[in-house]
Amino acid sequence: MPTSQPRRKPDAMTAAPQPSPEPQPVVTPLRTAAIFLVLTIDPGGEAAARDLLADVAALQRSVGFRIPDAELACVAAIGSAAWDRLFSGPRPAELHPFRALRGERHHAVATPGDLLFHLRASQMDLCFEFATQVMNRLAGAATVQDEVHGFRYFDERDLLGFVDGTESPGGRAGAAAALVGAEDPDFAGGSYVIVQKYLHNMDAWNALTVEEQERAVGRTKLADIELPDDVKPASSHVALNTITDPDGTERQIVRANMPFGSAGSGEFGTYYIGYAASVSVTERMLENMFIGDPPGTYDRILDFSTAATGTLFFAPSAGFLDDPPGAPDPPGSSGSGASSPSPGSLGIGGLKRSTAQ
């Protein structure tokens, strides 16, 4: 019989590594319905916004419980101008206002946005109920800047008729592309989010032949096959959105775009949303699209699709939202940065919901 050895107590060198922060549902498959809700926080609305953000996970469970199979998911994100109004302490390393771009012919505009709620489910009623609860909680504290209701269009095509997001990674590859890691440990598990609302000129687009449309996109329309390099124009959407590092590594982001529109008013569009571990990757894609690589070879699709909005947010980890840092000190105060619970809040981490009747 072998002699038993005394157990060693774990020390700093042998202790198990800490688990990674739980992300919000960023890397989630597309559903049949989505709502994109962009808000600005009114002066004095910071406490209501903080309380709501701390309750996002609980609200998702409450609304999603009605139809579990519909798989409701919500990602909440915060803009650069709002971050220091809501939280004390450090900021995400790459969080800054959206950088407008002006190319030779096309312009990527920057528009206001303090909060983003990206809602997904297989039924629109769940998304709508969640958005309604958000607006009830933020009544008098925030202003809607944009609200877009997206829908799945046939086999995940956009209204231009092409499959959208074919190369968007999922699973571990999606997490690697979208989630911050050890490079910014205070915000590991978070993700940088850029949103843009594109409006399509369908009459002009449909006046093109299918072959011309395919050269603009860089893929075949029916089969969704990428065109060969010797056929695919440098100004095609696919060519300009392929980002490769000097060592040959292709950089990716997670896209969750959705079509939207109104047949009666003649509005047709794609709501673009890209999640990235480093916002520089998404920004390089946008620079290629609007400026060109080389300059002048802008994205041909922009001749038919106009960016009407543009905002950058950071979606922190689920744990950050459940137990956020204290609110910043009021201007002119000499406090420590920690805050007392706001009026009507239970003030206990993830249970910071309002008790006001």
Q: Among all residues, which ones are annotated catalytic?
A: 164
How far is the C-alpha of 231 from the C-alpha of 26, rounded, in Å?
34
The DSSP element (H or E) to which 49 belongs, if any, is helix 46-54
Question: How far apart are the C-alpha atoms of 249 and 245, rounded to whole Å?
Answer: 5
Q: How far apart are CA 276 and CA 296, in angstroms?
A: 26
Cis status, amide bond into 2, omega within 30 of 0: no
- Residue 126: closest CA among 62, 57, 53: 62
Cis before 294? omega within 30:
yes
- The answer to whether the CB of 35 falls within 8 A of the CB of 127 is yes
Q: Give the integer Cα–Cα distance in Å for 78 and 203.
A: 37
Alpha-carbon gap, residue 267 to 270, rounded angstroms:
10
Instruction: State the Cα–Cα distance between residues 224 and 213, nearest whole angstrom.
Output: 12
Q: How is residue 306 annotated by DSSP?
A: E
